[in-house]
Amino acid sequence: MLLILSTSVIATSFLSGIFGMAGGMVLMGILLALMSVEKAMVIHGVAQLASNGWRAVLWRRSIQWRVLRGYAVGAATVVVLLLALGVTLSHAVVLLLLGATPFIAWLLPPSLQLNVDRRGHAFACGVVCMGVQMLSGVSGPLLDTWFVRSGMTRHEVVSTKAAVQVVSHGTRIAFFGTLLATANQPVGAGLAVLLVASAIVGTSASRLVLDRMTDANFRQITQRLVLALGVGYLATGIWQLVR
């Protein structure tokens, strides 16, 4: 089990380190096949927090702090609302929303297209992505729809997305970690250390690939990856509804 978890975290952190996304979705699928939802949420959160945190450290000079501040305020707002209202969605519905979002984003007219460079969009990104993060554990492809049309360089995109994900995963760890502690099923310190070390290894290796890419290639591959993941989410959501 430890070997599977460590290898999975290294591989998915490497993937996320290049594109700033996708690795979390793959890792969550692996974890859900091995353990309960609550434990998967915490372990996924620890691994992704380490991966994103180290990525943010590596490219800290490229972080766009204006975007991070807007996202953090939006994320805090939706967490308070979710806790106050006790809102929940079925996993299938969340998957369908995740899958449809990239396609909806591309069909919007220029005046309505999602872009964190625009006034108020970073806040909206925090509200929507944090809500989905709390409900499904994954918001990478959704988060990317706000970044893919921005004027940022590839390093700015990856570093800023990593920073906002630190906010999301830290909040999720606190929420679901409390549930596990209450049920007397905490995640062991040894496992947490292994996950953090594996995430750092995978993320550090990805830097070599990202530095050799061009901004044009980065955006082209990212756009295709977002749409491909959208198809996967839609198919999975429909399958769960039919089942």
pLDDT tens per residue across span 14-56:
877 776 666 776 777 677 777 776 777 777 788 778 878 888 8
Residue from 106, 145, 110 nearest 125 by CA: 145
Q: What is the DSSP string of 119-144?
A: TTHHHHHHHHHHHHHHHHS--HHHHH
Answer whether residue 73 shows pLDDT above 90.
Answer: yes
Task: Tell me how crowded residue 25 is: count the other CB atoms within 10 A of its CB.
Answer: 21
Higher pLDDT, 175 or 74: 74
What value does the mean pLDDT take over residues 184-188?
A: 64
Q: Give me the pLDDT at residue 90, please.
A: 64
Does residue 191 have a pLDDT over 80? no
Over range 161-174, report the average pLDDT: 85
Q: Which pLDDT band, with edges at 50, 70 and 90, does 91 fall under?
A: low
Radius of gyration of the chain measured on its C-alpha atoms? 17
Asked if the model's pLDDT at residue 67 lies above 80, the reply is yes
Count CB-CB contacts under 10 A for residue 121: 19
Cα distances (Å, whole numbers) of residue 122 to 14, 126, 144, 224: 26, 6, 12, 23
Cβ(5)–Cβ(43) below 8 Å: yes
Amino acid symbol at 60: R
Tell me what pLDDT residue 217 has.
Answer: 74
Instruction: Report the distance separating Cα 56 and Cα 62, nearest Å.
Output: 9
Cα distance between the two ends of the chain? 29
| Long-range contacts of residues 33-41, Cβ cutoff 8 Å, at least 24 apart | 34/1, 34/4, 34/5, 38/176, 38/179, 38/180, 38/183, 38/185, 39/180, 39/185, 39/187, 40/137, 41/137, 41/172, 41/176
Residue 148 pLDDT class (50, 70, 90 cuts): confident
**Given pLDDT bands bounded at 50, 70 and 90, which one contains residue 197?**
confident
Answer whether 0.85 is exceeded by the pTM: no
Instruction: Tell me the pLDDT band of 203, cut-offs 50, 70 and 90.
Output: confident
Higher-pLDDT residue of 89 and 144 is: 144
Q: What is the mean pLDDT of the chain?
A: 78
Task: Say yes or no to pLDDT of 218 above 80.
Answer: no
Q: Answer yes or no: are the C-beta atoms of 224 and 103 closer than 8 Å.
A: no
